[in-house]
Structures are given as C-alpha cells and as structure tokens.
Amino acid sequence: MAGPRNISVSEASRPVLPRHAKLKYDETRQVWVILAPERVLAPDEIAVEVLQLCNGERNVGDVADQLAAKYAAPREAILADVVVMLQDLADKGFLTEAREKTS
C-alpha cells in the first residue's frame, strides 16, 4: 500500500512523490513537469530541486541543510519555504511519506 494520507509536513518528515505523480523533464516544451492523473503541474526550478532531494530517505531538515549550503542562504527561511511548498503538494494529494521501516 502507498504511504499515509493527510500528511503534515514538518522538519522530520521524509516525503516522496507517490507512484501516481512522476517528475519528468519534458524535452518538447523544455520544462520540468509533474505528471499526475488528469494533471500536469509545472513546478518551478526550486520546487524541482526540492523534489529531486525528496527520495523518502532524507527528511525535510536535511533538504533545507543542502539548499542552505548550496545557495548560502539562511536555513530557517529556506526550511519555512520548503515546508509550505511541500504541504501544498501534500494537500493536493501529490506527496506521500516513506513508511517507517519496521524492525
């Protein structure tokens, strides 16, 4: 089964795109797109970068760390932006969380 629904994105979340949402570079239109049922979304450059980092292993805090280092920007501001963006995707049903590995 897919990961949980209705997720609340926080620094500790380990989000990932669900199976029905695919991030792809559209060669014809030269843009990144997220393909989903009856939808084609156009994420901006930073959203693409965030989503590429969201592999279900890293948590949102790790993602913010990487972006803060790369852009030499304040981590807290980046974290806040990333959480808002991911929550928006989650609310639309285009984000899930990796399940906890059961030991």
Partner 1 sequence: MSDVLGNPTIPPDVSDSLAVLEKQRSTAETFGIPLAVLLEITHRCPLQCPYCSNPVELDRSAKELTTEEWKKVLSELAEIGVLQVHFSGGEPTARKDLVELVKHASDAGLYTNLITSAVLLTRERLSQLADAGLCHVQISFQGVEEGLADRVAGYRNGHRKKLEVAKWTRELDLPLTVNAVMHRQNLHQLPDIIQMAVDLDADRLEVANVQYYGWALKNRAALMPTVAQLDECTRLVEEARERLKGTLAIDYVVPDYYALRPKKCMGGWGRQFFNISPAGKVLPCHAAESITGLDFESVRSNHSIAWIWQNSDAFNRYRGTGWMKEPCKTCEFREIDFGGCRCQAFALTGDAANTDPACALSPLHETIFKQAEREAEGETNRFLYRNFSGGTLESENGT
- The answer to whether 15 contacts partner 1 (rule: CB under 8 A) is no
Region of residue 48 (phi > 0: left; psi between -120 and 50: alpha; otherwise: beta):
alpha
Cβ 95 to partner 1 shortest distance, Å: 9
Nearer to partner 1, 69 or 71 (CB): 71
Contacts of 55 (CB under 8 A, 6+ apart): 16
- The angle that helices 60-71 and 75-91 make with each other, rounded to 10 degrees, is 130
- The answer to whether 23 contacts partner 1 (rule: CB under 8 A) is no
Distances (CA, A) of 42 to 29, 30, 31, 46, 99: 11, 11, 8, 11, 27
Task: Give the interface size with partner 1 as a residue count (CB under 8 A).
Answer: 36
Among residues 10, 11, 20, 69, the one that binds partner 1 under rule CB under 8 A:
20
Cβ 93 to partner 1 shortest distance, Å: 5
Q: Which of residues 54-83 bind partner 1 (CB under 8 A)?
A: 71
SS3 state at 34: strand
Interface residue list for partner 1 (CB under 8 A): 1-2, 5-7, 18-20, 22, 24, 26-29, 31, 33, 35, 37-47, 71, 85, 88-93
